[in-house]
Amino acid sequence: MNNIPSHAICAMLAVIGLLIIANLTKMILQRLNPEKDYNELRLRINSWWLMVGLLFVILSIGNQVAIIFFGFISFIALKECLSIVPLRQADRRVIFLAYLSIPFQYYWISIHWYGMYLIFIPVYMFLLLPMRMVLIGETHGFIRSLGIIHWAVMLTVFCLSHLAYILALPVLNPQAGNVGLVLFLLFLTQFNDVGQYIFGKLFGRVKIIPKVSPNKTVEGFLGGLILVTIFSGYCAPLLTPLSLKHSLILGIIIAFSGFIGDTVISAVKRDLQIKDSGKLIPGHGGILDRLDSLTYTAPIFFHYIYYFYY
């Protein structure tokens, strides 16, 4: 971990400590309640160990390798997204262009071409996809397929690629580096998810949007908001260039955007009448089930810090 700044290393060790506590908690629960099945909890914790370990190794190798890794994550997410939505047989040739956007998008990041990165998918892919569909000559279901494919590319490539571009920004906090920014975003997003889940289970009474996500409650949302705002205010000076004021505001923004990202993917799954987006991650479902909040928090976090500090 010679390439990782000291504060980022401390953050990684803190995550490893939390996972150890989770393992010990699972063992205690099994001993206290041997009749209960904790297999799903075991799968979830094991998957977290694998995901966290892989992420830390990649970040330790270097920024360029990490950018390639995040590009691969976008590829898997796009593949999963397109596999669960109904598309026409004629759209296969258009889908090839959607996949082709990934290496281009992440190449702009690797050479720090911010202008092209920012408009490539929202503008050029937006224009190119319908052009290719017109040349195919199939008009039945044209608008529906075009909307699905472009939305999938925006969500899984454009939105998630903001996580990679954080690594290409100038370093403003040398003790944490840009790895610290990435870890900070991931921590905020996951703390918000965990906080909403725990507070919802303990105190949840009032449903927010029962038709979309029946388990989401006002109490859970407020609990997550409070938890992530406190965490943001405490950890921002260690991992980011954010002031206390900006970090507290960011905590509130992440809580809202993470909630929306989660419920948007929930709405998609409910529309398609599926429980999970896939089976890639044992105990968690698909990669979209794990990255749903991040599809919203990553671009909002990036542009927030870019506006105030870059």
Which two structure tokens, joined as six digits, stand for 269? 């799954």
**164-180, pLDDT tens digit by residue?**
999 999 999 999 999 99
Dist CA 203 CA 197 (whole Å) = 10
The answer to whether the Cα torsion of 211, 212, 213, 218 is positive or negative is negative
Which two structure tokens, joined as six digits, stand for 60? 């330790």
For the chain, what percentages of helix, strand and coil (3-state, to nearest 5) are there? 80, 0, 20
The number of residues making up the chain comes to: 310
What is the structure's pLDDT at 221? 92
**90-117, pLDDT tens digit by residue?**
888 899 999 999 999 999 999 999 999 9
Answer yes or no: are the C-beta atoms of 78 and 152 closer than 8 Å: yes
Which two structure tokens, joined as six digits, stand for 120? 């490539």
Look-up of token digits 């996951």: 190
Dist CA 241 CA 138 (whole Å) = 51
**22-44 as b/e, with b when 16 or more CB fall inside 10 Å?**
eeeebeeeeeeeeeeeeeebbeb
What is the structure's pLDDT at 297? 96
163: pLDDT confidence band, cut at 50, 70 and 90? very high
Q: Contacts for 227-233 with beta carbons within 8 Å, 24 or more apart?
A: 227/191, 227/192, 227/194, 227/195, 227/199, 228/188, 228/191, 228/192, 228/195, 228/254, 228/255, 228/258, 229/255, 231/187, 231/188, 231/191, 232/188
Dist CA 71 CA 73 (whole Å) = 5
What is the structure's pLDDT at 44? 79
Which two structure tokens, joined as six digits, stand for 185? 């975003």
Q: What is the mean pLDDT of residues 17-27?
A: 87
31: pLDDT confidence band, cut at 50, 70 and 90? confident
Which percentage of the chain shows pLDDT scores above 90?
59
**pTM of the entire predicted model:** 0.92
pLDDT at 40 over 80: no
Dist CA 310 CA 297 (whole Å) = 18
**50-90, pLDDT tens digit by residue?**
989 999 999 999 999 999 999 999 999 999 999 998 888 88
**128-155, pLDDT tens digit by residue?**
999 999 988 888 889 999 999 999 999 9
